[in-house]
Chain A
Amino acid sequence: MFHPLFPLKADDRVIEDPLALCRIHPALSAHQPLTWAQSVVAGFLAAALMGGLLARPWTTARVLVFCATIFYLLSTFYKLLLVRMSVSRQAEIHVPPEALAADDDAALPTYSILVPLYREPESIKNIVAAIAAMDYPADKKDVQLLLEEDDAVTRSAADALTLPPSFRITVVPASFPRTKPKACNVGLARARGEFLVIYDAEDRPEPDQLRKAIAAFRTLPPEVVCLQCKLNFYNPRQNLLTRWFAGEYAAWFDLSLPGLSALGALIPLGGTSNHFRTAALRGLLGWDAYNVTEDCDLGIRIYRRGGRTRILDSTTWEEACSSLPFWIRQRSRWLKGYIQTWLVHMRNPAALWKELGPVNFIHFQMLIGGIVFSLLINPVFWAMALTWFCFRWTALMTLFPGPIFLMSALCLFVGNFIFIYLGGIGCYRRCYFDLVKYAIFAPPYWALMSIGAWRAFGQFFTNPFHWEKTRHGLFHASPAP
């Protein structure tokens, strides 16, 4: 049963505040990166670690290796479970074409579409065209282009366009924090539709996506407040980075998320193409303006309030970041947001356990904390493996007593192979047949992800709310696959 965070009345003005979540439920907002209690616990753990390493370095290191090995092992099995579940019938919602054909246009509700834009004059024309081309009655579309007050370039580009009648420009006041979720909250306050979706500037959603979402929402119980569409790229073959990136997206959106959906587990939303019941989204007080992965945070919040998210079998095509420096920045932002999200929801672990239940609590740890943790510790283990293979430094063996050595070896050989193979399966499932072979060479891509993770970790302490803008428009081909 879905319980809104804030029981909004029809004339309630509280949602007009883009920082409403932070003001009404500060405990659920990332405006304070680390609470006092979390700082104490973190300090205690750091002190214990340092003390252990100084007093009994080998024993402490062995304990750390043991914990990490167990985590790796669990992660591998967890990933296998998700992939196994992703082929079940309940993994995603398929809407057959005949179900869409039966729709009566007059009975369709108004659909709000939010498009946050910031310094993206080159993309505005494409997104307007893509949304205009969507198969949905024009008078039932309520499209808001969310432009920042001080973004003169994009505003000029928008002014230069002749926007279709259902489009309007919403100006987001320049204020701190300067994040996408804050802009979305402004749009949410002005949305008129019964349902609402977000698209990024470079998105090209499948034309029937809105109809599919409506058809799905109508058959789903009311606690399903969000549908996540699949994302992938229209430029997967631009260079090696985009090939790897497309493989990763395919594995995430075509295997892992459907697997989570089949398990009835919480789903960390993915940036764009999230379709909501607008009232429910308002009841959740929208997005956290301070969280740089507001989508992931919202996905967790939905579950904490008894809502559910399902995966809709419709794809939105995006532009894969093809420039390594921008890719690293984008990845850093995502992982920083994951850190924020994990810390926000772990402020009161008991409450989280109670609200999510034990199974979803474990999912939360594996998905949100686990991903960041594995990317942070991977380089350490790679370095140890490399040192061993190259120099046979026997001291390393003392870190891996009996069973730990076996489990570590299993993770090194079998675990890594499984992750590589799953990347290939993801590509195949997405019909990226020519990209399957690139999955084999994914380990360098994992190294890049770890670089992003360490950068995110550092940035979390130095600049937690900074939104590193991903530059798009580096690829200029037009038609989506």
Chain B
Amino acid sequence: MAFSTLPPPRDNWPWVVRLLPAALAVAFFAFGLAYPDHLSADGVVYEAIARHLTANTTLGRQALVASAWWPPFPTLLRLPFTAMATLPGIWPIPSLLLSSAAAAWVVSLLIRRFQQWGLRGGHTWIAPVIIAQPFFLEQTLGGGLGPLIGLFALHATDGLAEWTERRRLRALVRLAAGSAMLIGSSLEMVPWVAGLYFCLFFDLVCGAFPRGQRAAVLWLALLPPVAVAGFWFLLNWLIMGDAIYFLRGVLRHRELLSRPIVAPFPFSPMDALAVIIALLSATAAAWRGRRAGVFLGLLAAAPVGMAAILNLRGLLGSPTPLLFVAAPLTVFAVAYHARDNAHRVLARTVAWIAALALTLGAIARLPERSLFAPERASYAALATQRGHWLPCLESHVRLLSPFSVVFVAGYDSLALLGPHPPPMFVSTLDFDFAAAERDYEGNRLFLLVRRPEGRGAMDSIHWKFPRIYERGTRYTLYDSDWGDWRLFEIVQLRPMEKAP
């Protein structure tokens, strides 16, 4: 008699496949360190928040929750590595660690699924093709958020596919956990998560379930993302005194944004081809009655469409994770379809075309969407700013008064000032004139505000004091411009006058 007391059958993965993720992670990390100028400024901001959190500062707690554009999970995931961020230089080592590990995990997950789906041997090339995507490399080697978002999205999608096919509880949990992580990691992924849940609802409506199971599935699927959102509201209420503080910039984005963040949308014919391939895969799955395949195809095609819509509304970040996740999801969808013996040759051909198209597409649009190109996005650009004009600004202000204090508004201030800012510079995320004057009585006060562009346009300084960059406020006097930044002197308030 031989039942489950026997050890499980050994999978016959080659040892290379087992070691690949670790090797890739190490390689990504090493390359990232070798080219610190390409590191993403986002990583520097998240690490600065993590450092402030570890130091238990009010700024750290505010920064963790106060903006939907800077969600909490990327910071929380960096916390264990924060000690490393104090190493000489301020290379965002935690960011690199995270992006390298996440990227390696993405590749590993893809290869594992290909193995399980019988796409062994020569067909594991699809995963390395993902790595070859220039956009993938940019984000991974730059310590960007893309790989992490890609990993969560892939887990959620994988969970949905497995749930739709096999109704396994663990798949449902993976779907829910992936969605929760996405909600807590990227505002732009929220519509995509909504799409994912729409697929789940559709499946629940169409499938046959015992009494009560549908409700239970919904509870388990919705609870994690709802909890993440709920905690975010709660923490805003506790820390900022306003439960929707983090959303205020988004809610008023139309009046805050003087121009779209990425204009025009970096859309290339290759994007269209990738979308077409994903939609073809969905159509083929629908033709064959494979609901999971339909979902995968639609979810793979969705990011590019959603990015276009968000771009029209001025809500597309730069770099956007939506365009990052499109490639792995498309490959995943096509590979899912390719596992079927009936259409294997056709599907393999399509998979080859997909991979080729994605690679060519990414190469074609590299110059226009590269992380390295936008001046404000790279760490190198910020370091240059810090190195060049920040000391000049410090001297300028010190000349006016040795007891000057410069408030640097917004999340970008965390990247600009770095881990060891000069003592006269103070980052602020929830600036208040009255409080500043009260807390720094006797000092000459200045406010440094960045040009309202992209995510920075939705920082609280801009929605609390609309058009401050262009016109100042009744409490500020224009002083000078420093790169993208504008310096205002804060006018001392009269005793009976209250600032907003």
Residues of A at the B interface (CB closer than 8 Å) are 87-90, 92-96, 99, 102, 215-216, 218-220, 310, 389, 400-403, 405-406, 410, 413, 417, 421, 424-425, 427-429, 431, 433-434, 436-437, 440
Whether the Cβ atoms of B3 and A428 lie closer than 8 Å is no
CB distance from A89 to the nearest CB of B (A): 4
Question: Is B220's beta carbon under 8 Å from chain A?
Answer: yes
B4: which A residues are within 8 A, CB to CB?
89-90, 92-94
Question: Is B224's beta carbon under 8 Å from chain A?
Answer: yes
9 contacts between A and B (CB under 8 A): A96-B3, A219-B1, A219-B3, A406-B56, A424-B216, A433-B211, A434-B215, A437-B216, A437-B219
Whether the Cβ atoms of B238 and A389 lie closer than 8 Å is yes
B216: which A residues are within 8 A, CB to CB?
424, 427-428, 433-434, 436-437
CB distance from A244 to the nearest CB of B (A): 15
Cα distance, A393 to B77, chains bound together (Å): 29
A407 nearest in chain B by CB position = B79
A410 nearest in chain B by CB position = B76
B79: which A residues are within 8 A, CB to CB?
406
Residues of B at the A interface (CB closer than 8 Å) are 1-8, 53-56, 76, 79, 169-170, 173, 210-213, 215-216, 219-220, 223-224, 227, 231, 238
Whether the Cβ atoms of A401 and B170 lie closer than 8 Å is no
Cα distance, A219 to B223, chains bound together (Å): 41
CB distance from A255 to the nearest CB of B (A): 10
A95: which B residues are within 8 A, CB to CB?
3
Whether the Cβ atoms of A428 and B169 lie closer than 8 Å is yes
Cα distance, A433 to B218, chains bound together (Å): 11
CB distance from A208 to the nearest CB of B (A): 14
A392 nearest in chain B by CB position = B238
A99 nearest in chain B by CB position = B1
Whether the Cβ atoms of A433 and B215 lie closer than 8 Å is yes
Whether the Cβ atoms of A433 and B3 lie closer than 8 Å is no
A425: which B residues are within 8 A, CB to CB?
169, 173, 220
B1 nearest in chain A by CB position = A99
CB distance from B65 to the nearest CB of A (A): 11
A215 nearest in chain B by CB position = B1
A389: which B residues are within 8 A, CB to CB?
238
Whether the Cβ atoms of A440 and B223 lie closer than 8 Å is yes
B56 nearest in chain A by CB position = A402
CB distance from B188 to the nearest CB of A (A): 23
Whether the Cβ atoms of B8 and A89 lie closer than 8 Å is yes
Cα distance, A93 to B3, chains bound together (Å): 8
CB distance from A122 to the nearest CB of B (A): 32
Cα distance, A310 to B76, chains bound together (Å): 38
B224: which A residues are within 8 A, CB to CB?
417, 421
A220: which B residues are within 8 A, CB to CB?
5
Whether the Cβ atoms of A93 and B5 lie closer than 8 Å is yes
A218: which B residues are within 8 A, CB to CB?
1
CB distance from A259 to the nearest CB of B (A): 13
B8: contacting residue among A90, A93, A421, CB under 8 A: A90
Identify whether the interface residues of A are mostly helix, strand, loop, or mixed.
helix
Whether the Cβ atoms of B5 and A433 lie closer than 8 Å is no
Whether the Cβ atoms of A406 and B3 lie closer than 8 Å is no
Most interface-central of A216, A220, A410, A436 (chain B CB within 10 A): A436
B5: contacting residue among A219, A402, A405, CB under 8 A: A219
B53: which A residues are within 8 A, CB to CB?
406
A220 nearest in chain B by CB position = B5
Cα distance, A93 to B6, chains bound together (Å): 9
Cα distance, A458 to B426, chains bound together (Å): 53
- Known: A402-B55, A433-B215; 12 extra A-B contacts, CB below 8 A, are A94-B3, A94-B4, A219-B1, A389-B238, A417-B227, A425-B220, A427-B216, A428-B169, A429-B169, A434-B216, A436-B215, A436-B219
B2: which A residues are within 8 A, CB to CB?
219
Closest 6 CB pairs of A and B: A433-B212, A433-B216, A402-B56, A89-B8, A436-B216, A219-B5
B170: which A residues are within 8 A, CB to CB?
87
Whether the Cβ atoms of B215 and A437 lie closer than 8 Å is yes
A90 nearest in chain B by CB position = B8
Cα distance, A219 to B170, chains bound together (Å): 29
B173: which A residues are within 8 A, CB to CB?
425
B227: which A residues are within 8 A, CB to CB?
417
A92: which B residues are within 8 A, CB to CB?
4
Cα distance, A403 to B210, chains bound together (Å): 47
Cα distance, A99 to B5, chains bound together (Å): 13
CB distance from B3 to the nearest CB of A (A): 6
A405: which B residues are within 8 A, CB to CB?
56
B210: which A residues are within 8 A, CB to CB?
431, 433
A421: which B residues are within 8 A, CB to CB?
220, 223-224
B231: which A residues are within 8 A, CB to CB?
413, 417
B238: which A residues are within 8 A, CB to CB?
389
Cα distance, A402 to B54, chains bound together (Å): 5
A216 nearest in chain B by CB position = B5
Cα distance, A201 to B282, chains bound together (Å): 57
Cα distance, A98 to B2, chains bound together (Å): 11
Cα distance, A163 to B23, chains bound together (Å): 69
Cα distance, A102 to B1, chains bound together (Å): 9
Whether the Cβ atoms of B3 and A90 lie closer than 8 Å is no
Cα distance, A115 to B238, chains bound together (Å): 55
CB distance from A86 to the nearest CB of B (A): 10
B215: which A residues are within 8 A, CB to CB?
433-434, 436-437
B224 nearest in chain A by CB position = A421
Whether the Cβ atoms of B56 and A424 lie closer than 8 Å is no
